[in-house]
Structure 1
Amino acid sequence: MNNVNYDHILEDYFFSKYLRPATEWSYQKVLKSFIKFTGPEITPAEVNKELVLFWRRQVLTEMKLSRRTWNNKVAHMRAIFNHAIKKGMLSARDNPFNGVVTRPDIKRKKTLTPNQMSSIYIIMQSYDEAERMGTVQHPRRCALLPAWFWLTVLDTLKYTGMRQNQLLNLKLGDINLEAGIINLRAESAKNHREHAVPIARALRPGLQVLYDRSLALEAKPEDPLFNVSRFSSKRTDSQGCMDPQHLRAFFRRLSKECRSEISPHRFRHTIATNMMKSPDRNLRTVQALLGHSTVNVTLEYVEGNLDAMRTAVEEVFAR
């Protein structure tokens, strides 16, 4: 029983839970980082609270990762060990990952400034022009190509605020260009709730081109809408879901070009934060757009207006 390995536990856990591929990947990533810390010679049965606390020190003190990141790692590892203990794969009674979370720092949502947003589109439009003129160096190795495709990805994130997983799982049949609606499936939502978002006027042309080009390449309504492989000769899976690695490679390269951190979730935070500058008018609208289950989650995007604060302070001292 105590000779069970991580592969066996994880395989059984995935089989019993039936998780999304992206969720399975996150478990594998966290487990890999833990095994890297302990070394492959340490078995699950040998993991104790002291070892976990040493890992916490490394993550928070040496690697200087956030408390929120640490708590996320703990949640994954605790679930894995709970499963192993419950199924009798481990003889331990107590989960070594219980009671090791830290109180997370509450930070402002990470948004994109107007200058960052402008830089993103200037860079991508320059690649689009260079691609059409055939002047891009090593185009087969450039993660920003085809530029027209990635510009549509950026526009979709910018104008809808959808999550990365929702974008990757969007089907052609979920797009209703005539009605101007995108249907976001329950299985791709964090809260497992289906909801719809509008197609903004600025988003429509890019989506129309992507939709038409996908149909021209014999894509079916049940096929993913966003799959860069469909339009690139260097990748093979043209009808299945786009590999999340392609999306991560794109944003890594874009961040390097922009010299700032760019990610799908920052687009989501940006549209929500900007709309919540008028919470009385937009609270329910933002809740519906982002698909939040409760208003409390949406209210996290309300920030004090610094200009208004400055004016109020100056008025006090002026008196």
Structure 2
Amino acid sequence: MLWQSYIKGFKAYLKLERSLSAHSVEAYLNDIDKLSQYYQSLLKEPKLSEISTADLKLFISWLNELGMQASTQARVISGLKAFFSFLMLEDIIQSDPIALIEAPKLSRKLPDTLNIYEINSLIDAIDASKPEGMRNKAIIEVLYGCGLRVSELTDLKISNLYPQIEFIKVIGKGNKERLVPIGGVALKLLDIYLKEVRVHANIKKGNEDYIFLNRFGAKLSRITIFNLIKSLAIHVGLKKTISPHTLRHSFATHLIEGGADLRAVQEMLGHSSITTTEIYTHIDRDYLREVITQFHPRS
């Protein structure tokens, strides 16, 4: 492919200059691959400098015809914008063909959340008498109590715990560090897990500093956390479709509904833009129902 050397340069740029994770880099490369697939379907292989805005509009129509959702189309356009910006930066192209193309409008869907009773039911369903029980209780408490992404939880290290001041250091997207408060209940369960359970583990070399380990003494995988949440939801008969991210949504929603400052929540979640955090400013539906019942003359 004519583009291969430029794609390699773009990959190095994302890893070295933008410090993106391997997962994020792969997502960007997949976006470029979509454009490559489009030209393959046309039996064409143009130079990057020959691609026009009109060509890219036809490409987006092609994505639409394939039945690709608006959110996925927006993701692809975002990836291509980054790629063409890189090409401009390197003087490989003289004008940016995607600069004037806007991503499709996305509906701001409210994320699913759990109330405190549902969260307690998940924790109560864990059998603490089993070796992994205390670990799993600590996992749920830390996910909900600190609002972590699942990858941030699996990467959490003992050296990043500061129990004296009740903070943990989290490595988020783009290797950005942030300090997040951790509550007493989560700290207590972590302490019990570390001192009474983890201390007996046969830890695999290179995993000594990771907090949460599997039965083989290695760092927990994201899939293990997903399966834990799913199995607990089934066990307690929870009808909602939930994932580890649901606990992060619940953390943010409960803080906002409790009157927390939006900027503070943004900082704790590690959002680069406050626009992302604003989705949590929705008002509790039960509260709205109470207002209607109390004040509307036709209620």
Q: TM-score, normalised by structure 1?
A: 0.67
The 5 A counterparts of 1:103-142 are 103-112=105-114, 117=119, 125=126
Instruction: Give the distance between the partners of 2:6 and 2:29, measured in 1 at CA.
Output: 10
Residue of structure 2 equivalent to 1:304:
283
Cα deviation 1:69-100 (Å, max 9, x = unaligned): 43233222211222133324x44622336413
Correspondence 1:208 to 2:192: yes
Q: Do the aligned partners of 2:169 and 2:180 also contact (CA within 8 Å) in 1?
A: yes
Q: Do the aligned partners of 2:147 and 2:269 also contact (CA within 8 Å) in 1?
A: yes
Pair 1:119–1:305, CA change in 2 (3 A): closer
Pair 1:43–1:61, CA change in 2 (3 A): closer
Q: Report the CA distance between 1:34 and its aligned residue.
A: 4.8
Aligned equivalent of 1:198, options 182, 187, 202 = 182
DSSP 3-state at the match of 1:268: helix
Q: Do the aligned partners of 1:161 and 1:290 also contact (CA within 8 Å) in 2?
A: yes
Correspondence 1:276 to 2:256: yes
Residue of structure 1 equivalent to 2:8:
8
Q: Do the aligned partners of 1:45 and 1:92 also contact (CA within 8 Å) in 2?
A: no
Aligned equivalent of 2:103, options 94, 101, 104 = 101
Instruction: Give the distance between the partners of 2:189 and 2:59, measured in 1 at CA.
Output: 49
Cα deviation 1:192-240 (Å, max 9, x = unaligned): 3522312331553245314665555467898332354xx327xxxx3xx
Q: Do the aligned partners of 1:30 and 1:77 also contact (CA within 8 Å) in 2?
A: yes
Q: Which runs of 5+ in 1 are unaligned?
A: 133-145
Amino acid at match of 1:272: A
Q: Report the CA distance between 1:297 and its aligned residue.
A: 5.6
Q: Do the aligned partners of 1:169 and 1:188 also contact (CA within 8 Å) in 2?
A: no
Aligned equivalent of 2:69, options 65, 72, 75 = 65
Residue of structure 2 equivalent to 1:17:
18
Instruction: Give the distance between the partners of 1:82 and 1:215, measured in 2 at CA.
Output: 50
Amino acid at match of 1:309: L
Residue of structure 2 equivalent to 1:168:
154
Residue of structure 1 equivalent to 2:81:
78
Pair 1:4–1:102, CA change in 2 (3 A): same
Correspondence 1:226 to 2:212: yes
Q: Report the CA distance between 1:254 and its aligned residue.
A: 5.0
Pair 1:30–1:250, CA change in 2 (3 A): farther
Amino acid at match of 2:166: I
DSSP 3-state at the match of 1:194: strand
Q: Do the aligned partners of 1:2 and 1:91 also contact (CA within 8 Å) in 2?
A: no
Amino acid at match of 1:303: H
Correspondence 1:53 to 2:39: no
User: Once superposed, which parts of structure 1, at least 4 consecutive aligned residues long, lie more than 6 Å away?
Assistant: 219-222, 293-296
Instruction: Give the distance between the partners of 2:107 and 2:73, measured in 1 at CA.
Output: 11
Count of aligned positions: 287
Q: Do the aligned partners of 1:170 and 1:224 also contact (CA within 8 Å) in 2?
A: yes
Residue of structure 2 equivalent to 1:135:
none
Instruction: Give the distance between the partners of 2:262 and 2:37, measured in 1 at CA.
Output: 44
Amino acid at match of 2:75: N
Instruction: Give the distance between the partners of 1:213 and 1:273, measured in 2 at CA.
Output: 32
| Structure 1 stretch displaced more, 296-305 or 100-109 | 296-305
Q: TM-score, normalised by structure 2?
A: 0.70
Instruction: Give the distance between the partners of 2:148 and 2:29, measured in 1 at CA.
Output: 24
DSSP 3-state at the match of 1:73: helix
The alignment's C-alpha RMSD in Å is 4.3
Instruction: Give the distance between the partners of 1:183 and 1:8, measured in 2 at CA.
Output: 36
Instruction: Give the distance between the partners of 1:60 and 1:254, measured in 2 at CA.
Output: 34
Q: Do the aligned partners of 1:172 and 1:221 also contact (CA within 8 Å) in 2?
A: no
Instruction: Give the distance between the partners of 1:303 and 1:3, measured in 2 at CA.
Output: 45
Q: Report the CA distance between 1:180 and its aligned residue.
A: 6.3
DSSP 3-state at the match of 1:184: strand
Instruction: Give the distance between the partners of 1:3 and 1:308, measured in 2 at CA.
Output: 55
Q: Which runs of 5+ in 2 are unaligned?
A: none
Correspondence 1:27 to 2:28: yes
Instruction: Give the distance between the partners of 1:278 and 1:44, measured in 2 at CA.
Output: 55
Amino acid at match of 2:18: K
Instruction: Give the distance between the partners of 1:38 and 1:249, measured in 2 at CA.
Output: 39
